[in-house]
Amino acid sequence: MKALQDVALSMLDLVSVREGGTVGQALDIALHTAQHAEALGFARYWVAEHHNMPGIASSATAVVVGHIAGGTSRIRVGSGGIMLPNHAPLVVAEAFGTLAALYPGRIDLGLGRAPGTDPTTMRALRRNRTESEGDFPRDVAELQHLLGPAQPGQKLVAMPGAGSEVPIWLLGSSLFSAQLAAERGLPYAFASHFAPRMLMQAIAMYRELFRPSKALSKPHVAIGVPLIAAPTDEEAQFLASSTYQRVLGILRGDRQCLQAPIAHFMAQCHPQEQAAIADFLGAAVVGGPDTVRQGLSQLVAQTQADELMLVSDVFDPALRLRSLTIAAQQWRAGTADASATDALNPPNKAVFA
């Protein structure tokens, strides 16, 4: 059985635009957070592709990956994920092949099959292209081929990209991608940060059907974990109200920028809304240090995950750094890496005024 210290900590950043803030500030905050996560010993830092959403600044995902990789030195940086049906595999191969050439050994390519947006924007992205269930596996296979070594006589070569062997992950919130990842011998990340309902079934299927491949000899599972940590449970719940507001906006079809926290927000919601938010955030860990340690440990015990992909939407950027610090301290069971002294003591002021 795995203990908390046996799993890797990583982060998925939605690159949130805060109410009253700008896209430029959101991108600066993402870079500063990635630098902090690197100092804390996190394994990787991913950003996700979303479109036509006023509160998310990561639509040009490969560009943001380059921005973050260029400002860090060791942590792996990647997509969590690129929504492959929105793009020709050749374009993705060239973009991530370029990133791999710029930052060797540090780039991940996580792939999803959802649109990452609303139907109108999806049609604008895909134009007249109509997707079928078989397209995603074929596109993944084409992308693997384009990122592999160029073969004699190969007519379509990704340049850059060919021979880069950028690690491909499959992402999902259902059984489809779990089965495909198992068949292809690829690492699998489950989107339990917003859709935890099928988590256990999906990772069980993935492990049962897994076939070793050139890329991976045994199953590797990462799970999304909404994480808000603070010195006390009460403060953590207050800070988490920004996330609760975001989730309620998604459920109501009213997406906004990340909002400042509101005291006793959940108590102001209708019981049905409270239940819907709780269901959406079923894998969340919110609380003080002891609660965080217990919550993360319980998730590891239940899932035997190899990696926890934290999602921490705290309105005040400095308090988000503190949240990650508390999680890292509990992950290490109270021992601090001497090389991360500065990271463990982030400034009290916000990154922007």
Q: What is the largest CA-CA distance in the chain?
A: 65
pLDDT > 70: percent of the chain: 89
With beta carbons less than 8 A apart as the criterion, state whether 18 and 346 touch: no
In the chain, how many domains are there?
A: 1
Top pLDDT among 33 and 174 is at 33
204-214 pLDDT tens trace: 999 999 999 99
Which residues are within 8 A (CB) of 220 and not within 5 positions of it... i.e. 6 or more apart?
187, 188, 306, 307
Burial of 150 (0-12, 13-18, 19+ CB in 10 A): middle
User: What CATH number should be reported for the domain holding residue 172?
Assistant: 3.20.20.30
Cα(69)–Cα(132) distance, integer angstroms: 34
Q: Which domain holds residue 311?
A: 4-234+285-340
174-191 pLDDT tens trace: 999 999 999 999 999 999
Top pLDDT among 1 and 50 is at 50
Residue 119: is its pLDDT beyond 80? no
Q: What is the DSSP letter of 151?
A: P
Please indicate, yes or no, if residue 241 is contained in any of the structural domains.
no
Q: 326 in helix, strand or coil? A: helix
Q: What is the pLDDT of residue 5?
A: 86
Please indicate, yes or no, if residue 166 is contained in any of the structural domains.
yes
Please indicate, yes or no, if residue 275 is contained in any of the structural domains.
no
Residue 25: is its pLDDT beyond 70? yes
Residue 73: is its pLDDT beyond 80? yes
Q: What is the pLDDT of residue 300?
A: 96
Please indicate, yes or no, if residue 261 is contained in any of the structural domains.
no
Residue 153: is its pLDDT beyond 60? yes
pLDDT > 90: percent of the chain: 83
Q: What is the pLDDT of residue 114?
A: 73
Residue 130: is its pLDDT beyond 80? no
- For residue 116, give both structure tokens: 């990452």
With beta carbons less than 8 A apart as the criterion, state whether 43 and 11 touch: no
pTM score, whole prediction: 0.90
Please indicate, yes or no, if residue 28 is contained in any of the structural domains.
yes
Q: What is the pLDDT of residue 314?
A: 98
φ, ψ dihedrals at 172, nearest 5°: -175, 170
Q: What is the pLDDT of residue 1?
A: 81
248-259 pLDDT tens trace: 999 998 989 999
Q: What is the pLDDT of residue 104?
A: 98
CA atoms within 13 A on the CB side of 100: 23
Please indicate, yes or no, if residue 128 is contained in any of the structural domains.
yes
295-349 pLDDT tens trace: 999 999 999 999 999 999 999 999 999 999 999 999 987 333 333 434 444 433 3
220-242 pLDDT tens trace: 999 999 999 999 999 999 999 99
Residue 196: is its pLDDT beyond 60? yes
Average pLDDT of the chain is: 90
> In this structure, which amino acid lies at residue 261?
P
Please indicate, yes or no, if residue 184 is contained in any of the structural domains.
yes
With beta carbons less than 8 A apart as the criterion, state whether 242 and 261 touch: yes
Please indicate, yes or no, if residue 256 is contained in any of the structural domains.
no
Helix and strand tally (H, E) in the chain? Answer: 11, 9
